[in-house]
């Protein structure tokens, strides 16, 4: 006879309760999960944007230059003597031909009077010798004088004629020395400090001279460019029918000082510095440029027509090269690789990667990453950035 050993009724009830509790817990967890709020999307990043513009852009090369006078003359005396008068005021402009100084002329005047007296004496002797020559010629025709006497008299006349010529040369030399007592400005320009005072004895051998004149209108700027720019400059010179324009700005600022023309591309490259020297001539009526001043010189090589431009601040550098944050549909940004031809005056000239009218971020990139939404910054900030991009 077999005996069956069934589970106790109490155990079956316990299992059934546990199963019901587990099912109800799962249902409650799913319900609670469905009622929990979804994770909030990130807020749009506030940025400043600008449109890519297509326009004609000057092609420039920028170098550091020094303002130099168009001409410099150290005024010196050409004779020795006492400085009698000064005809200029320190630091003022003088005209070419203006009397700057007067050396005491009395010694030269005395020498000139002596030379004229000597000439008068020699002319009298020459006149008498010519009369004697006429007499000897008549006597020789009458066979009353010898050939030797006639030849001697002719030689004496020739000798006295040469003496008078020497007197003329001496008089002219003295006149030149007398003219040297009046010192005139050889060029127009700005005089510097007076180097000798009235009453001093000056000498032609004095190294310092009397005063220095600098021609400051027109004026020149000497500047250098890297050796790598030489071929571009040389090509532009050959292709242009007119001298290339040079724009001069205050050092490190956007303050325009003058505009002129390139007059010199030096005939060799400095191998020590790897630069080539250039010179520009500029009108300077208001004396905005001054000798010795450091300036930025911008040489205009030509015009890049229809170039795509954007504010230089839009261009970022990453591990794979240059890129910009382009704003697409729904104000979502993406990193757009670009090729930049050059950056000048706060403007980037883009060869590839962008199109005209495309919207890019010019400020606020530090908080961005691809796929984020953006919103335009305050109007004031945007307008300020726009002005900076258009400089």
**Tens-digit pLDDT profile for residues 248-272:** 999 988 888 999 999 999 999 999 9
Per-residue pLDDT tens for 284-334? 999 999 999 999 999 999 888 889 999 999 999 989 899 999 999 888 999
**Which pLDDT does position 381 carry in this prediction?**
42
Position with higher pLDDT, 329 vs 37: 329
Model pTM greater than 0.85?
A: no
**Mean pLDDT, residues 200-224:** 95
pLDDT above 70 (res 379): no
Please give the domain boundaries of the chain with CATH numbers for all domains.
47-57+306-389 (2.40.420.20), 61-69+213-305 (2.40.30.170), 78-103+182-209 (2.40.50.100), 106-179 (1.10.287)
pLDDT above 90 (res 367): no
**Mean pLDDT, residues 99-119:** 95
The dihedral built from the CA positions of residue 153, 154, 157 and 159, taken in this order, carries a sign that is negative
Name the average pLDDT for the chain.
87
Pairing of strands 316-318, 321-327: antiparallel
pLDDT above 50 (res 199): yes
In the structure, what pLDDT confidence band is assigned to residue 174 with cuts at 50, 70 and 90? Answer: very high
Contact (Cβ atoms closer than 8 angstroms) between residue 359 and residue 50:
yes
Q: Please give the C-alpha separations between residue 287 and each of 65, 69, 247, in angstroms, as whole numbers.
A: 17, 11, 16
**Mean pLDDT, residues 142-151:** 89
Question: Cα torsion for 335, 338, 343, 347, to the nearest 10°?
Answer: -60
In the structure, what pLDDT confidence band is assigned to residue 244 with cuts at 50, 70 and 90? Answer: very high
**Mean pLDDT, residues 174-201:** 95
Per-residue pLDDT tens for 17-28? 555 555 555 555
In the structure, what pLDDT confidence band is assigned to residue 2 with cuts at 50, 70 and 90? Answer: very low
Q: Give me the residues paired with residue 261 across strands.
A: 245, 281
Contact (Cβ atoms closer than 8 angstroms) between residue 349 and residue 342:
yes
In the structure, what pLDDT confidence band is assigned to residue 37 with cuts at 50, 70 and 90? Answer: low
Cis peptide leading into residue 56 (ω within 30°): no
**Which pLDDT does position 382 carry in this prediction?**
40
In the structure, what pLDDT confidence band is assigned to residue 279 with cuts at 50, 70 and 90? Answer: very high
**Which pLDDT does position 253 carry in this prediction?**
86
Q: How many residues does the chain have?
A: 391
Separation between Cα atoms, residue 170 and residue 154, nearest integer Å: 25
**Which pLDDT does position 293 carry in this prediction?**
95
């Amino acid at each position: 006879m077999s005996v069956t050993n069934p589970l106790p009724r109490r155990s079956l009830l316990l299992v059934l309760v546990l199963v019901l509790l587990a099912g109800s817990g799962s249902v409650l967890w799913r319900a609670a999960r469905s009622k929990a709020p979804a994770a909030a999307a990130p807020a749009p990043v506030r940025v400043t944007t600008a449109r890519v513009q297509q326009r004609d852009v000057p092609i420039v090369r920028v170098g550091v230059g020094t303002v130099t006078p168009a001409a410099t003359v150290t005024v010196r005396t050409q004779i020795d003597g006492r400085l009698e008068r000064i005809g200029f005021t320190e630091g003022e402009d003088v005209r070419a031909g203006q009397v700057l100084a007067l050396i005491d002329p009395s010694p030269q005047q005395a020498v000139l009077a002596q030379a004229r007296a000597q000439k008068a004496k020699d002319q009298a002797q020459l006149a008498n010798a010519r009369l004697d020559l006429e007499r000897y010629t008549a006597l020789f025709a009458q066979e009353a004088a010898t050939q030797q006497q006639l030849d001697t008299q002719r030689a004496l006349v020739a000798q006295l004629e040469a003496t008078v010529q020497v007197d003329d040369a001496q008089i002219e030399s003295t006149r030149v020395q007398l003219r040297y007592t009046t010192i005139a400005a050889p060029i127009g320009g700005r005089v510097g400090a007076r180097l000798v005072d009235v009453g001093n004895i000056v000498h032609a051998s004095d190294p310092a001279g009397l005063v220095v004149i600098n021609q400051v209108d027109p004026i020149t700027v000497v500047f250098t460019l890297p050796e790598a720019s030489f071929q571009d400059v040389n090509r532009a010179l050959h292709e242009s029918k007119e001298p290339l324009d040079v724009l001069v700005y205050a050092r490190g600022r956007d303050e325009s000082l003058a505009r002129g023309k390139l007059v010199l591309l030096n005939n060799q490259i400095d191998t020590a510095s790897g630069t080539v020297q250039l010179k520009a001539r500029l009108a300077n009526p208001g004396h905005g440029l001054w000798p010795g001043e450091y300036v930025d010189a911008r040489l205009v090589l030509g015009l890049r027509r229809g170039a795509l431009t954007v504010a230089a601040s839009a261009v970022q550098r990453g591990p794979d090269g240059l890129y910009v944050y382009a704003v697409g549909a729904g104000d979502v940004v993406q990193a757009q690789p670009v090729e930049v031809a050059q950056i000048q005056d706060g403007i980037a000239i883009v060869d590839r990667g962008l199109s005209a009218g495309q919207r890019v971020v010019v400020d606020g990139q530090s908080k961005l990453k691809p796929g984020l939404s953006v919103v335009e910054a305050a109007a004031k900030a945007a307008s300020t950035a726009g002005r900076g991009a258009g400089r």
